[in-house]
Structure 1
Amino acid sequence: MPSPSEIRSRYSSTTPASPYALYSCNAIVDDDVTKELDFDPATDQIRAYYIGLFHELRFYGNKKHPRKIKVAEWEALCQSWGMFVENFNKNPSGYRERVRSASERYERYSKRPKILRLHDGAVETGIPCEVPSGVACERCQAGAVRLSERDLNGYTGISVAVELKTLREKLITQLSSESAEGERNTQPRAVGNYISRSSFTPFGGAAGGGIRTPSPFPERCSSGRSAAPTYRG
């Protein structure tokens, strides 16, 4: 067990991480939705339900680049649990709405749920994995056979559900979009001396397509007279 001074130097505080014990549901007030589920009070069903609800939002709301915090992992988990208890008690319907919105964003922008649904849907119907070749599928064994374009187009007699075909097309579109975005981000931007470029004529050179600087004096014709009309009074 580290000394209090060592804990203070590492985590900047020795105060408790949260007033609520981790995964303790005694302080949670059941809302109408929870009551309708009719959990058996003699079991840990309701406790498992709240823990699952807590981790569901943490899973969907997980950021790619989490902030660096100067606390231990267990302490951050305790703090998050305390915030969950307070937020759920204040507005249970609002918390459930946050979970629903986060789940929809995850389904829309993440590739993983699409890949898992393609694999599970294909296996359930007794056909090979429908994840496109070249895309990693965590549930496929090494060297596992996958559906080909001939299979999808009906040339081999394999029947593929329309919803799985649609989901596969969405995944391919998403992968293509991400690939194009990555190529745009890696392309070098035009920087440097623009005057050195042959197509750039700052003062309307031979091409006449550059910027023309107006002269304070009127232009003269070849005869030497001013092109502007003169009036004598």
Structure 2
Amino acid sequence: MPHIYRCTLELHDSLYFATREIGRLYETEPVLHNYALCYALGLVDSEKYDTTVAEEHSYCYFCPEQVPMYEAHLTPLNQRGIYVTPARAVRHAAVLNTWKYADNRYHVEMQKTQKNIPSFGRAKEIAPESQFEFFVVSQKSLTFPRWIRLGKWMSKAQIDVKELPDPKRQAAREFTFPYLLNPLDVMFTHQVLSYDTVNMPPVSLIRNVCLVGEFYSLTGLNLPAQMEYRFSS
């Protein structure tokens, strides 16, 4: 049986990433995508790639090109038998910050801007002390970092991990999973009957999911089995 971990994440800084843009408002949904968690947990490591892949798709703190390489970065986790679910908010609060680009010169000749850069706006961020919860499934025992960083501001967060004892794999039947899932990662192994949608990039998530398939029976929870990172063509 795999190792299954229940992870609790607590923010020590405000967390910002633009889930949606509404005019001048840039809103952060209280949801953490499983792609982002893989990077934050340090699971995306170019040294663990195949050599030819590492040279072409190495991942580092600074990215010279803002081009997502999720398939190249996350597919090796399937080979290692590691899967991270998206994180739901256990409790959270929001803070609203206004930002503005200003020119400090006393006289500025008003000219039409040549770039599509907003001069001011508001960012709705997730406040410090907000808590999130997610699960990690691994074929081998994992060691987790105590502290990670997330979002555009590289916000600091603390991780507490508890390994769930004695997971039992159950045969395929209908069950409900109230937490968040990435639909691409379950649609090939499970029949998804109903769900609520959380619209966000790069892949919208689903929650309160009713589905048919194999699952791990945990204390008070049924976690879908056979989840892997999959990508739309």
TM score, norm. by length of structure 1:
0.17
Q: Quick one: higher RCO (CA 8 Å, sep 6+), 1 or 2? A: 2
Higher strand share: 2
TM score, norm. by length of structure 2:
0.17
